[in-house]
């Protein structure tokens, strides 16, 4: 399945209406799902509440410039790929944009075909980082067993516990990324499967349940860790 078949979700941030509409139209023709914004503060808000595969971000915005928007997003530990668009074409501007957390930088006027190619490359590259390890249907660790297909587990006391579909999906995601921190954004998008998130408390409650099932001492967890402000990590 190609990236486009999955309908990658893009946020286009541009205050010039004609260019914003042109970008939206051409990206939709490529099969992407497009959300648009024309100012910095609304972008910060959107990124907190929704998942995007890529942001195309104009540098010259009213209220808050694109560089500041990018810095703010990175301070929230969000690693969404960001492509800057700028009317300024100096080496210093380009370096500044990339230094502040941008992944790519294009100057206006740009070649549409080149922009589409770069967008696709950034999305594919971002998906590759998140490739999971293969995990068997029945997974064992520290005397516990998880049966992902049957939605049940044998807990730390040897008792069989039922798992909800979402609990099994979250466990599988964490086990697939064993030893890595999985961001809240990624969890919510993969497990809940839509762009607008339920509250992050939801995940916290799932993690508390996992600790009850699998930790010898749930207050000093060995396997299920919360990484403040970023996400969650499983270590076998």
Cα gap 207→226, rounded to integer Å: 8
Q: How is the chain split into domains, by residue range?
A: 4-128, 138-234
CATH number of 138-234: 1.10.10.10
CATH assignment of 4-128?
3.40.50.2300
Q: Is the pLDDT of residue 233 over 60?
A: yes
The C-alpha atoms of residue 38 and residue 56 are separated, in whole angstroms, by 11
Question: Which residues lie closer than 8 Å to 186 by C-beta, 6 or more apart?
Answer: 130, 173, 231
Cα-based torsion angle of the residue sequence 132, 78, 198, 37 in order, rounded to the nearest 10 degrees: -120
Tokens of 211: 């600790």
What's the pLDDT band for 5 if we cut at 50, 70, 90? very low
With bands split at pLDDT 50, 70 and 90, how would you rate the model's confidence at 3?
Answer: very low
Residue 194 vs residue 222, higher pLDDT = 222
**pLDDT at site 220:** 93
pLDDT above 90 covers a percentage of the chain that reads 61
> Distance between alpha carbon 93 and the CA centroid of its chain, in Å?
27
pLDDT band (50, 70, 90) for residue 223: very high
- Band the pLDDT of 131: cuts 50, 70, 90: low
Mean pLDDT score across all residues of the chain: 88
């Amino acid at each position: 399945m190609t990236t486009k078949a999955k309908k990658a979700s893009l946020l286009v941030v541009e205050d010039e209406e004609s260019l914003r509409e042109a970008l939206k139209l051409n990206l939709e023709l490529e099969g992407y799902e497009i959300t648009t914004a024309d100012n910095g503060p609304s972008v910060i808000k959107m990124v907190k509440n929704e998942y995007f595969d890529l942001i195309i971000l104009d540098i010259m915005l009213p209220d808050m410039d694109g560089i500041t928007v990018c810095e703010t997003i990175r301070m929230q530990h969000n690693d969404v790929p960001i492509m800057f668009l700028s009317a300024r074409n100096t080496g210093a501007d380009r370096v500044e944009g990339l230094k502040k957390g941008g992944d790519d930088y294009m100057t206006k006027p740009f070649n549409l075909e080149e922009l589409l190619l770069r967008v696709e490359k950034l999305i594919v590259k971002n998906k590759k980082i998140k490739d999971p390890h293969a995990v068997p249907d029945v997974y064992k660790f520290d005397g516990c067993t998880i049966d992902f297909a049957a939605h049940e587990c044998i807990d730390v006391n040897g008792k069989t516990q039922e798992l909800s579909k979402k609990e099994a999906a979250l466990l599988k995601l964490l086990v697939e990324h064993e030893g890595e921190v999985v961001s809240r954004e990624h969890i919510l998008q993969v497990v809940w499967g839509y762009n607008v998130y339920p509250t992050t408390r939801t995940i916290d409650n799932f993690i508390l349940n996992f600790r009850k099932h699998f930790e010898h001492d749930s207050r000093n967890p060995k396997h299920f860790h919360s990484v403040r402000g970023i996400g969650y990590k499983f270590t076998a």
